Amino acid sequence: MSKFTATFRLIRAGWIMTREGVISALPAEGLSGLPAFGHRIAGLLARRRARTARRSERMSRAINKLGPSYVKLGQFLATRPDVVGTEVADDLALLQDQLDFFPMEASVKAIEGSLGRPVGDLYVNLGEPIAAASIAQVHPAYVRTGGEDRKVAVKVVRPGVRQRFNNDLESFFLVAKWQERYVPATRRLRPIEVTRTLAQTTRIEMDLRLEAAALSEIGENTKDDPGFRVPTVDWERTGRDVLTLEWIDGIKMSDIDGLRAAGHNLVGLAETLIQSFLRHTLRDGFFHADMHPGNMFVDDRGHIVAVDFGITGRLGKKERRFLAEILYGFITRDYVRVAEVHFEAGYVPHHHDVASFAQAIRAIGEPIHGQPAETISMAKLLTLLFEVTELFDMETRPELVMLQKTMVVVEGVSRTLDPHFNMWKASEPVVGDWIRRNLGPQGILGDAREGVGALLHLARQAPELVARADRLSKEMDRMAEQGFRFDDETAKAIGKAEARHTRSGRIALGVIAVCLVAITYKLLF
C-alpha cells in the first residue's frame, strides 16, 4: 500500500506543477513522441496567469503549495545542476524559503519536549518568531549568564515536518527508481543515490544537534582565521528540536548599499570571503554549502559571520588533492596532467584515452588564457569541466558538484561586492600554500608517514586476516562440493518480493491509465 499511496502523492504533485505551469516551462529541446505530446498537454492545462509568469515564479508557487518537503527538494536540486541542468538549478536557487509561522504554543511544546525543562527556566524571555523556513522557525530570546541578560537566537523545528518528509520521500524514491529503469541515459547521474543523499542531508538538518555540531567544528577550524567567524552555540539550550546560538547584529551581505554606508571595505570583504571558503575546502575538508548572501552578515568589526549550517559539504584528502591539482594544471596549462588526475582518481573509466580527454580539457583551458584575470571565473571553469566529463562517462560525484555549486555562489557574491574582483589573485595565497604543503616535498613526507602507519595497522591485523582467509577457503571448498543452496527462509523472501513487485506494477499501470482517461476527458469536454 505504501507504493500505491506514494503514486497518488506523485499524481497530486504532478497536477499542481502542471496547473502552475512548471512542466510546460521546463526545456523541451530534444523531446519527441509521447514526452513531447505530454509537454504540449501540460501547456494547455496550465493556469492562464502561470503562462505569463517567469519559470522561477512558477516553481516557487508550485513548490510552496506542495509543502516543506518539496521546498527542501527544490533547494537540494539547486545544488545539483548535473541532475536538473544549469538553468533550472539557477531558477531553483531563487526559491524563497518563507513559509507561514507556526503557533508560539507549538514552539514552547517543542522546546520543553526536547530539553525537558520549562521555557521559563531556560530563557528570561522568548519572543515571537521573526523568520520561518521549511524546516524550522527562529525566535529572538534572552538568557541570563553571569548576572547579565544576553540576546540569543532560538531555532525550533516545525511540528510534523519529519513525518511529512518521510511520507513524501517514498514518492521521491519511486520517481528515482522509475528514472533508472526507464531512462537509461540518466543512470550515470545515479538518481537513487541522489535521493538517498537528499534523505540523509535533510534528516541531519532536522536534528538541530547536528547543525550545532557543524557550527562547533567550523568554529574550531576557523578560530584563528582573519575576518571570518561563526556564532557560538549554547549547548545547555540545544537539543534535537531546538538550537540556541549567539545573536548576530550585522548587515547582510546582500545589502551592498548598507555595507558601503557603514564604511566597510567591499574589496577586502570579497577577498576575505573567497579565501575563507577555500581554506574551509582545502585545509579543513568541511565547508558551508549554502553560502548565499542571506546567510552571511558583516559585524561592526568588519568580520564575515556565516549562519544556517543545515547544509554542509565534506571533501576527503583525495578529493581535495584532485581539486588543487586540476586548478594548478589549468593555471600552468598542463592539460595532460589535469586529464591524468581524473584517471588516477578513478573518476573517468580507464577504457577512455587520456590524450583524447586532455584534448577536451584544452578546449576549456585555452580560452581563459586570452582574457584579463578579473574576468576569468573559477566557478565557470569547473562547470565547463563537469560538462565535458559527461562525454567521457564520468559518474556524478555529489561532493564535487556541491563544491562547484557553492563556489558559483561564493564567487558571485564576491563579484557583487567588487565588480573587478580577480578570482585567481585572491585565491593564490590559499591554493598555492596548500599545493606547496601537500604536493611538494612536505606533502610527500606526509604521505609516506601515512603509508607507514597504514602498513603497521595492517600488520597488527595480520593474524585475524589469515584466520578469515582460512575460513573463506574452507567455505568455498564446501560450496564447490555441495553447490550453492538457498535456505527455506531466503526462497520464501524472494518469492514474496517478486509477487509484491508484480502487484505494485499492476497498480501503478492502473493509476496511470485512470489519469490519462481523466486528462482526455478534461480536454474533450
Active-site positions? 290
Closest CA to 391 of 360, 421, 416, 430: 360
What the block records as the C-alpha cell of 454 is: 597504514
Cα 173 from Cα 168, distance rounded (Å): 9
Return the C-alpha cell found at 297. 552578515
Cell of 92: 531553483
Question: Strand, helix or coil at 52?
Answer: helix
Rounded (10°) CA dihedral 191, 194, 199, 203: -170
- Rounded Cα–Cα distance for residues 259 and 164 (Å): 40
Long-range contacts of range 172-179, CB-CB < 8 Å, 24 or more positions apart? Answer: 172/73, 172/198, 172/199, 173/6, 174/3, 174/6, 174/7, 174/10, 175/10
Please, are residues 141 and 246 in contact by the beta-carbon 8 Å criterion? no
Quick one: how far is CA 279 from the chain centroid? 19
Q: Which residue carries 606547496 as its cell?
A: 436
Sign of the dihedral defined by the CA atoms of residues 195, 200, 204, 210, in that order: negative
Q: Please give the C-alpha separations between residue 376 and each of 65, 82, 204, in angstroms, as whole numbers.
A: 40, 22, 36
DSSP readout, 123-166?
Answer: -SEEPPP-EE-SSEEEEEEEEEETTEEEEEEEEEEPTTHHHHHH
Helices vs. strands in the chain: H and E counts, helices first: 23, 11
Q: Which amino acid is at 313?
A: G
Task: Looking at 232-303, list the stretches that DSSP marks H as alpha helix, in order from N- to C-terminal side.
Answer: 256-261, 266-278
Cell 530563557: give the residue: 123
Q: What is the sign of the dihedral through the CA atoms of 474, 479, 482 and 486?
A: positive
| Cα distance between residue 383 and residue 364, in whole Å | 10
**Whole-number Å distance between alpha carbons of 31 and 37:** 9
* Inter-residue long-range contacts of 104-113, CB under 8 Å, 24+ positions, other chains counted: 104/128, 104/129, 106/159, 107/137, 107/139, 107/156, 109/159, 110/156, 110/157, 110/159, 110/241, 110/242, 111/154, 111/156, 111/241, 111/242, 113/241
151 forms beta bridges with 142
Reading the block at residue 409, the C-alpha cell is: 555562489
- Taken as a whole, the chain contains a residue count of 525
Is-contact 135 158, C-beta < 8 A? Answer: yes
In whole angstroms, what is the distance from residue 60 CA to residue 37 CA? 25
Cell of 201: 542531508
Amino acid at 446: G
